[in-house]
């Protein structure tokens, strides 16, 4: 009997994917809110190798992006990092990632894929839609300019699966049963984006308060996102 897989499957696990180019305080706000409201055991940060919805690849190498996520989450023991998507040469499709996590021993009923309301509004364009919504629970949080509660009117065909959660009281583990639900969390996250951070660095402006200080130091040390980006380290 594989007790490791049993323990893994019993964990209630959030999955926060992204390019993290670079990771910023908005990502951490989102992970902290979902971890608290859904009372999860962990939130796994999952840097993407090749994000399918971007016209060009990440500016920083996989090595640098993984390192920055490690620095940003080192003070959060419930926020492990996975290189699952970085090890794959194919685009980082959510449906494939969720299948691989189930194959590794996670239970689909204990998986919670986390995304912002802006990204989820385009869910119909995702690979393997609508079947992807049956592979785990989805947790959708408000983003600046994108209130999560507006999704019920925008995505009427999915409204029946949506459950609005109180940001304070949250949800008990026994409530999150099959079939998979779409949990809506109206919470505040920092109004910041990786695109904005890269643009500021290219102009030589400071990024204080936009990323954890350890990440800011790493970016300065390796001259990432500036006109002189320094040496590119090998990918994972």
Got the DSSP string for 161-222?
GEEEE-TTT---GGGSPSSP-EEEE-----S--HHHHHHHHHTT---BTTB-HHHHHHHHHH
Q: Rounded to an integer, what distance in angstroms lies between the CA atom of residue 112 and that of residue 122?
A: 18
Q: Which two tokens stand for residue 21?
A: 């180019």
Q: Return the pLDDT at 232.
A: 43
Q: Would you say 20 and 47 are in contact if contact means Cβ atoms under 8 Å apart?
A: yes
| pTM, rounded to two decimals | 0.89
pLDDT per residue as tens, the chain (236 positions): 455 555 666 799 999 999 999 999 999 999 999 999 999 999 999 999 877 766 677 899 999 999 999 999 999 999 999 999 998 877 889 999 999 999 999 999 999 999 999 999 999 999 999 999 999 999 999 998 999 999 999 999 999 999 998 766 555 554 555 579 999 999 999 999 999 999 999 999 999 999 999 999 999 999 999 876 544 444 33
Q: Would you say 148 and 133 are in contact if contact means Cβ atoms under 8 Å apart?
A: no
Q: Is the dihedral of CA 136, 139, 143, 145 positive or negative?
A: positive
CATH of domain 3-191: 3.40.50.620
Q: Rounded to an integer, what distance in angstroms lies between the CA atom of residue 74 and that of residue 108?
A: 27
Q: Rounded to an integer, what distance in angstroms lies between the CA atom of residue 225 and that of residue 236?
A: 19
Alpha-carbon Rg for the chain, nearest whole angstrom, is: 18
| 118 CB-near residues (< 8 Å, 6+ apart) | 143, 145, 146
Q: Return the pLDDT at 130.
A: 96
Cα–Cα distances in angstroms (integers) from residue 138 to residues 1, 25, 153, 185, 235, in the given order: 30, 21, 18, 11, 30
Domain locations along the chain: 3-191
């Amino acid at each position: 009997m594989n007790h490791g897989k049993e323990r893994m499957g019993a964990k209630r696990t959030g999955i926060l994917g992204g390019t993290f180019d670079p990771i910023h305080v908005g990502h951490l706000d989102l992970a902290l809110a979902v971890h608290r409201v859904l009372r999860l055991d962990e939130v796994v940060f999952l840097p993407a190798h090749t994000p399918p919805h971007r016209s060009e690849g990440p500016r920083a190498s996989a090595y640098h992006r993984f390192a920055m996520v490690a620095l940003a989450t080192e003070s959060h023991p419930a926020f492990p990092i996975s290189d699952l998507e970085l090890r794959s040469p194919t685009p980082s499709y959510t449906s494939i990632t969720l299948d691989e996590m189930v194959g590794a021993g996670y239970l689909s009923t204990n998986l919670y894929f986390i995304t912002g309301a802006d990204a989820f509004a385009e869910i119909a364009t995702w690979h393997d839609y609508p079947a992807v919504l049956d592979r785990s629970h989805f947790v959708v949080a408000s983003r600046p300019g994108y209130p999560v509660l507006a999704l019920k009117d925008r995505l009427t065909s999915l409204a029946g699966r949506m459950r609005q959660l109180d940001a304070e009281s949250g949800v008990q583990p026994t409530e999150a049963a099959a079939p998979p639900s779409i949990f809506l969390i109206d919470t505040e996250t920092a109004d910041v984006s990786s695109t904005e951070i890269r643009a500021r660095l290219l102009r030589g402006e400071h990024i204080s308060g936009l990323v954890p200080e350890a990440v800011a130091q790493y970016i300065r040390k390796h001259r990432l996102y500036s006109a002189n980006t320094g040496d590119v380290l090998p990918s994972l």
